[in-house]
Amino acid sequence: MLQSRLPVARHPSGIRLIPIRSRAKSLESRIRASCVFALRLIEYPMPTGSRDADVLLTWIFDSMGLIGRKSGQWSGDEQQGALHRIMRGALLVDPLRGWDTRDLGDASGLSHTGTHHQMTKLRSCGLVSTEVDGKWHVHVLRGGSMSAAVGLVSVQARAVLELRISELAGLVQPSDTRMDVQAEEEEVGFAISIAEPRARSKGGDAIDALVADLGLNGGRSRDDDRLARNLLCEIASSERPMTILSLAERFSESRSRVQRAVGRVRSAALVERVPMVDRISQDVYAGLMRQHSGRGEEWLMSRGGLGRLDESISKALLAGAKRGSLNIEKVQAILTPVPIEDQRILLNTLGGRMPFGIRIAGANGAQVAERVMRQTDRTLRRLRTVAQRLDEALAG
């Protein structure tokens, strides 16, 4: 029966050759094309009050790291790019139609290569799912709407990050004293990459893969660049805050490179900046002796800040400076009754600056993981809110 429908070729020797035509479309129709999940979450201020679909869509793309930015600032009035044209011209018009590359190109005006590149990003972050229908890849917006797609992405992103952050928690050395000093209250924009485990690069280990998948290496790092990994391991194993200078000296790196790497780790909510209160007495001593020698006691009592302290404390500091018997230990003992905030003010008036260090953001791995997940949940919640607002704007 099958043979009667197929063309028959004859070999010169007389042997009949019956070719078997591929039946891939009927046997393998609608095969799902898998893609490794990878998402970059970046916290931007919400487009409060906006009902402009283009503004909302751009904000979603930016918050999911789909549009490269040279700065961390977001603006809704920027030129619409390729992803925007694909979404507005096709996937948001008919989410479940099943768009192939040719149709998407026609709707967006992009080339085949450009369309393929953009769809790879949308598949990887989970907004779009893809099936293979014969020779074509057919794409749909997951769930049939942006709010449904973002909801599915949120569930997947949280599950993947919980898995990866549990790996990182094992690097944190528990400490009962690490969190004794309150961290600096400074708003740092949250940004973290979330990627399911992939094949490790040659020569790398599980920690290298984890650091790369969390986006801690930056976008242009070399394959053999282990600075972020080394910094993270060093800070996670320390009970005391570490300065940028000490970290730069520890790894023989420039302060600027260490500063940038620490900034990425800090944006991921893994480390935090904290005042090094044990260094205040050292810096107060240096400032006090310098100003006493250069400007005298009257200046110290007025503009130098000693007049704001209790009289017994200011007299003890001045007497020690005058006799030359003052040292760091004595300054620390004299300042013990003075609140930390007042010590910081004294240091500033003496011409010094409060020393800050970097520490891992928790007494143990569980606390660090909880902090990262809390920040992630807030960003994902914002994404769902804006996606729902986008659907409402399109429907209206």
- The pLDDT tens digits of the residues spanning 107-164 come to 999 998 999 999 999 999 999 999 887 778 899 999 999 999 999 999 999 999 999 9
- What spatial distance separates the first Cα and last Cα of the chain, rounded to whole Å? 57
Mean pLDDT of 48-53: 88
For residue 333, which of 317, 310, 347 has the smallest C-alpha distance?
317
Q: Return the pLDDT at 136.
A: 80
For residues 345 and 49, give the distance between their C-alpha atoms in angstroms, rounded to a whole number: 41
- Could you tell me the two tokens for 63? 């918050």
- Cβ neighbour number for residue 86 with a 10 Å cutoff: 25
* CATH architecture, domain defined by 173-276+356-363: Orthogonal Bundle (1.10)
Cα distance between residue 323 and residue 304, in whole Å: 19
- Looking at the predicted structure, is the pLDDT value of residue 29 above 70? no
Q: Give the DSSP letter of residue 308.
A: G
Work out the percent of the chain whose per-residue pLDDT is above 70: 88
Q: Residue 28's pLDDT band (boundaries 50, 70, 90)? A: very low
Q: Tell which wins on pLDDT, 281 or 30.
A: 281
Amino acid of residue 257:
R
309 and 338 in contact (C-beta within 8 Å)? yes
Question: What span, in angstroms and rounded, lies between the C-alpha atoms of 7 and 344?
Answer: 91
> What are the structural domain ranges in the chain?
173-276+356-363, 278-349
Q: Is the pLDDT of residue 327 over 70?
A: yes
Question: Considering the entire predicted model, what is its pTM?
Answer: 0.80
Choose between 346 and 32: higher pLDDT: 346
Average pLDDT, the chain: 86
Residue 74 has pLDDT above 80, yes or no: no
Average pLDDT over residues 58-74: 78
pLDDT tens track for 186-233: 778 999 999 999 887 777 889 999 999 999 998 776 767 899 999 999
Give every CB contact of residue 180 below 8 A, 6+ residues apart in sequence: none
Residue 231 pLDDT: 96
Q: Where are the beta strands (DSSP E) in 33-122?
A: 38-42
Contacts of 154 (CB under 8 A, 6+ apart): 380, 383, 384
Highest mean pLDDT among 328-332, 334-338, 384-388: 384-388
